[in-house]
Amino acid sequence: MSERGNMHEIKHFDMQEKPKKEKWFLTPLAYLLSFPAVWKRHLKINKVNMEGLKPPYILLCTYQSFMDFKVTTAAIHPYRANYVVAIDGFIKREWLLRNVGGICKRKFTNDITLVRQIKYALEKLNYIVAIYPEARYSLIGTTAILPDSLGKMAKLLKKPVVVLNIHGDYLIQPVWNLKMRKADLSADMTQIVTAEETKTLSIEEINDRINKAFVYDEYAYQKEHQIKIDYKGRAEGLHRPLYQCPHCLKEQVMNTKDNKIWCESCGKTYEMDEYGELHALEGETEFPHIPDWYEFERSQVRKQIEEGTYHFEDEVRIEALPNAKGYINMGNGKLIHDLNGFTLVSDNVNFKKEPLSMYGLHIEYDYLGGGEDCIDISPTLDDTYYLYPLKEKNIVTKLHFAVEELYKLRKEENKKDESK
């Protein structure tokens, strides 16, 4: 980690540099890293409406674990792609990422430069452009919020749109416990919009097709296909996304070990079976299906927002990521999140982010293996700050719910105002 410095004097990542085709000598390395891993997991790809389709096209991929990149490599073979990659993916390997075709992006920002880069890759490089629009690994094995700008981008670029919906990768390595498990992989690769259709379909119609093609539920998939995961610690870490007890309703009180999740306050305990379902050891099982518990928490946050009681405030450690060299220690500050959005106040960094400026929030559990959870926010297209709550524990999942629900509510309010 670098020491604190004057951010105005630090060279920021060059977001304007044009994307490149993958260097020929790196392609064998990409195949070596990808094909053995997916062959081992018996990957099956179901291609729909793909006959005769060649680059360039837009490839929208679900995002559940690092395995996604390996599946994508296999799915598009023998073609190669430019990949939209978050700024933290470039740390200490900018040369490599640029020369395998990486296009840098700061998460959950409205970035017209990115659209220009994608346009260049499609039209000048004649490449596939692979985008992971959920912008973070799925927290609970279900579809994350997607930006409305996807339909607008597709209509502007007038290229075919393909969705790669991958199954099994979340079950192999959920973001809340990175210990690898055993499960097979499959993927549906579907051309959902042709180049001609981008000229006639509305933005809303294109978005509707994208949203429908992106629907997935890994726990339902596990149950339907009877995928047995007998890893002893299969529930460890599940308390990170499932932070609120559905029995006593207290928050930040859940804990896990082996195949059990329990409430430290009321003691209610649930066991996760080998097929991904929960069972209360005593009394009612409120949510046998894990994503239902997760959505219950979302509804609780939405209720707090609607009642005007939602408020988060904590001291945070601040790290800046202006470029690919690494994080810069910016000291501590106070972070507030309420109905007005985010406010960060410190001696070195100050910013506000209003609800409509963020449709989603990137969060990390046990980031970089240091035992700390964090969120990252990009107040500008040149700066990203990683914020580590110092007192509140297991809070980042709630913050991400609050960002999404605040955005939806403000958007709904604006639509009502416009219709008056």
Q: Looking at the structure, do residues 327 and 292 belong to the same domain, yes or no?
A: no
- Tokens 């020929």 correspond to 24
DSSP assignment string, 183-247: ---EEEEEEEE-TTHHHHS-HHHHHHHHHHHT--BHHHHHHHTT-----TTTTTTTTTT--B-TT
Q: Looking at the structure, do residues 367 and 409 belong to the same domain, yes or no?
A: yes
271 contacts 278 by C-beta, under 8 angstroms: yes
Q: Looking at the structure, do residues 291 and 332 belong to the same domain, yes or no?
A: no
Q: Looking at the structure, do residues 316 and 367 belong to the same domain, yes or no?
A: yes
CA atoms of 317 and 95, how far apart (whole Å)? 29
CA atoms of 206 and 190, how far apart (whole Å)? 14
> Does residue 243 fall inside a structural domain?
no
**CATH of residue 51:** 3.40.1130.10
Q: What percent of the chain has pLDDT over 70?
A: 98
Q: What is the pLDDT of residues 70-100, one digit of tens each?
A: 999 999 999 999 999 999 999 999 999 999 9
Q: What is the pLDDT of residues 132-177, one digit of tens each?
A: 999 999 999 999 999 999 999 999 999 999 999 999 999 999 999 9
43 contacts 186 by C-beta, under 8 angstroms: yes
> Does residue 238 fall inside a structural domain?
no
Q: Looking at the structure, do residues 317 and 284 belong to the same domain, yes or no?
A: no
* Number of domains comprising the chain: 3
> Does residue 235 fall inside a structural domain?
no
Q: Looking at the structure, do residues 121 and 218 belong to the same domain, yes or no?
A: yes
Q: Looking at the structure, do residues 388 and 415 belong to the same domain, yes or no?
A: yes
Q: Looking at the structure, do residues 332 and 214 belong to the same domain, yes or no?
A: no
Domain that holds residue 375: 312-419
Q: Looking at the structure, do residues 55 and 204 belong to the same domain, yes or no?
A: yes
**CATH of residue 318:** 2.30.29.30
- Phi-psi category of residue 267: left, alpha or beta, with phi > 0 → left and psi -120 to 50 → alpha: left
Q: Looking at the structure, do residues 345 and 207 belong to the same domain, yes or no?
A: no
pLDDT given for residue 236 in this prediction: 97
Task: Choose one of 176, 205, 224: the last residue of a domain.
Answer: 224
Q: Looking at the structure, do residues 33 and 119 belong to the same domain, yes or no?
A: yes
> Does residue 237 fall inside a structural domain?
no
> Does residue 246 fall inside a structural domain?
no
299: confidence class by pLDDT, cuts 50, 70, 90: very high
Query: Amino acid identity, residue 385?
Result: Y
Q: Looking at the structure, do residues 297 and 337 belong to the same domain, yes or no?
A: no
> Does residue 332 fall inside a structural domain?
yes
The pTM score is 0.95
